[in-house]
Amino acid sequence: MQQYIELSAEVQKGKEQGLPIVALESTIISHGMPYPQNVQTAREVEQILRDNGCVPATIALIDGKIKIGLSDEELEMFGNAKNVAKASRRDIGYLLATKQTGATTVAATMISAELAGIELFVTGGIGGVHRGAETTMDISADLEELATTKVGVVCAGAKSILDIGLTLEYLETKGVPVIGYGTSELPAFYTRKSGFDVNFRLDTPQEVAEMLRTKWNLNLQGGAVIANPIPEKEALDHDFITNIIEKALAEAEEKHIHGKEVTPFLLGKVKELTEGSSLEANIALVKNNALVGAQIAKALNTNK
Ligand code: PSU
Ligand code: MN
């Protein structure tokens, strides 16, 4: 199996030194944000992790390998290229075998992280149950992955392009704990509130690490959602963003967007309609997640 995995020199060295390693996804770079802010954000997030005592491992599929840690040129390529495939669980075998370039989603990044022995993963938002899923059956493979793969995922909650209530129901059925980091209400990505409670509120990195370690010591499969609200001053106005999301959803329906195109289409539309303010919020929350994720990864590393 190790023949498919390639660690960057930085990750390899970090591993040998016993440093905490934090996984980062590449779909957020290729499909989640526009160039050049995507590459710049990816670099800044990596640096936040380094400055806080961790080793960043941005993950992607390149030339038949699962790369754990990307070079500067590779990051640039992911941000700029138009032909990068969005890679979720189902795509990994095909893309590696045909040596195509693939940007890993939350699901594929979790799989890769687990294979590389990485326990914590920082991102912006997870996929979930889409609105109207009772007829379209559009449910992100990210949720199934959270149910099976042993990686903690730090995010800013679920976007209201999704049906947040159904997403929580699905996670409950699958036994995935949803932790509020310093909050008892699930954040909704651009805003700190969603109207839905998390399962458990934890206030320190040590408590989160202890919860994950206990779950995994018991050999309970799957990960956890660690939902960290966007900083107050960066949050968008609730009514403003709700209105824009409604418009984006209506356009997706009108244009019959489906399958793996849905999420990137909605993210792009929201960015366009907010004239960039959603992008600024997105960048701020990912950086904030990196700060919190670094603390959790360090606590996990001293609690093996
Ligand atoms: N939500 C975001 N930004 C993103 C994504 C989701 O706010 O970039 C990406 C992540 O890579 C996530 C994927 O895993 O979209 C989910 O896609 P789908 O809904 O097709 O499973
Ligand atoms: Mn989908």
Burial label, 144 (beta-carbon count in 10 A; 0-12, 13-18, 19+): middle
> DSSP character for 90?
G
| Ligand 1 neighbour 124 (Cβ under 6 A) | yes
pLDDT at residue 292 tops 90: yes
Cα–Cα distance measured from residue 300 to residue 191, given in angstroms and rounded to the nearest whole number: 28
pTM, to two decimals: 0.98
pLDDT in tens, 41-60: 999 999 999 999 999 999 99
287 is catalytic: no
Pairing assessment for the beta strands 102-104 and 55-62 based on DSSP bridges: antiparallel
The closest residue, in CA terms, to atom 11 on ligand 1 is 105
Which residue did the predictor score with more confidence, 139 or 83?
139
pLDDT the model gives residue 282: 96
Distance 18 CA to ligand 1 centre (A): 31
259, 37, 42, 269: CA torsion to nearest 10? -20
Angle in degrees, CA 290, 293, 295, rounded to 5: 115
The model's confidence at residue 181, banded by pLDDT at 50, 70 and 90, is: very high
pLDDT in tens, 56-98: 999 999 999 999 999 999 999 999 988 899 999 999 999 999 9
Q: Please, what are the domains in the chain?
A: 2-301 (3.40.1790.10)
User: What Cα–Cα distance (Å) separates residue 154 from each residue in 100, 193, 229?
Assistant: 28, 17, 10
pLDDT, averaged across the chain: 97
Catalytic residue among 67, 86, 159, 269: 159
pLDDT the model gives residue 252: 96
pLDDT the model gives residue 189: 97
pLDDT in tens, 99-119: 999 999 999 999 999 999 999
| Ligand 1 neighbour 108 (Cβ under 6 A) | no
Residue range 195-205: mean pLDDT, rounded: 98
Residue range 148-155: mean pLDDT, rounded: 98
Q: Which atom of ligand 1 is found nearest the CA of 282?
A: 7
| Ligand 1 neighbour 160 (Cβ under 6 A) | no
Closest ligand to 126 CA? 1
